[in-house]
Amino acid sequence: MFKGSITALITPFNGGEIDWKAFDNFVEWQIDQGSHGLVPCGTTGESPTLTHEEHKKLIKRCVEIVNKRVPIIAGSGSNSTAEAVELTTEAKDDGADAALVVTPYYNKPTQEGLYAHYKTLNDIGVPIIIYNIPGRSVVDMSNETMARLAELPNIVGVKDATADLARPLALRNLIGDDFCQLSGEDATATGYLAQGGHGCISVSSNVAPALCAGQHEAWQKGDLDAMVTCRDALAPLHHALFVESSPAPVKYAASQLGLCSDEVRLPLVKATDSARAIVDHAIEFAGLKDTAAKAVNG
């Protein structure tokens, strides 16, 4: 069972290429700061603009650095089932603990098409986390389809980015507590936990890993006061990191903490001055500047 604060890793760039030194240091810092798992090559990692070779190298590098200290859930989805099979097979071969597979975007498959897509991936033999994000994919997997898929041995959970807090409880009642439910929305993660969720695949934990991990650990221990303290400190950050298209704001935040440059790949562009001001305030509010000296600089 995957649980806690799982970081959807940014991909550092320098001059248009992957900054491997920054990536290595960033992954190590995430573990040192207490993150409970890592997701390389998700949307936050700008997977749509990574080459196939970069995608494979990032997952392999992440697995090597982590060396089984925390789980690696590799982003390996596509709106082409054949390509998703290829990427997921490679992630398995490279040693990822699971694969995060987005619902096929743009194609708008039916519920039966979604079932067939994931049933095909099930046969690869690696645990699959369904990534349900209607806002980007323009298709919403129903709880009933997810329940059908949960009967397959390798469909083990969902990253739920619907922000519908009725869903985790309804899904748990339908499938049971063994099906891993991970929030895909930082701002509602604590509510998601209260409704039966197990953790969060987080953007905010790129720059506030200790706070995000502490929030989940407090919940697991039943320490609601500590959870509330973390939740309230993080709230402005959750908003700030999505004032413009992600990951531009979180990359700017990372640059302010000395983690990497704020470079993104087209068609994304760097955060605007107005967005930067909002991010700066959130960083200060959360006290993240206090940890800047410990940020990875090599």
User: DSSP string spanning 127-191?
Assistant: -EEEEE-HHHHS----HHHHHHHHTSTTEEEEEE-S--TTHHHHHHHHH-TTSEEEES-GGGHHH
Inside any domain, residue 100: yes
The amino acid at 263: E
Q: Is residue 107 part of a domain?
A: yes
Q: Is the pLDDT of residue 293 over 70?
A: no
Residue 47, domain member (yes or no): yes
pLDDT at 289: 82
Look up the domain containing 121 and give its range.
4-222
How large is the average pLDDT for residues 62-83? Answer: 97
Q: What percent of the chain has pLDDT over 70?
A: 97
State pLDDT tens for residues 247-268. Answer: 999 999 999 999 999 999 999 9
pLDDT confidence band for 1 (50 / 70 / 90): confident
Domain-embedded: residue 278: no
pLDDT band at 296 (very low <50, low <70, confident <90, very high): very low
Residue 269 lies in a domain: no
How much helix, strand and coil, in percent to the nearest 5, is found in the chain?
Answer: 50, 15, 35
What pLDDT, on the 0 to 100 scale, is given for residue 291? 65
The catalytic residues are: 131, 159
The answer to whether residue 41 is domain-embedded is yes
Task: Specify the CATH number for the domain of residue 66.
Answer: 3.20.20.70
Q: Is residue 26 part of a domain?
A: yes
The pLDDT, as a whole number, for residue 298 is 47
Average pLDDT over residues 22-37: 98
Query: What are 73's two structure tokens?
Result: 């859930």
pLDDT tens sequence across 186-224: 999 999 999 999 999 999 999 999 999 999 999 999 999
Asked if the structure places residue 111 within a domain, the reply is yes
Mean pLDDT, rounded, for 55-74: 98
Predicted model pTM:
0.96
**Structural domains counted in the chain:** 1
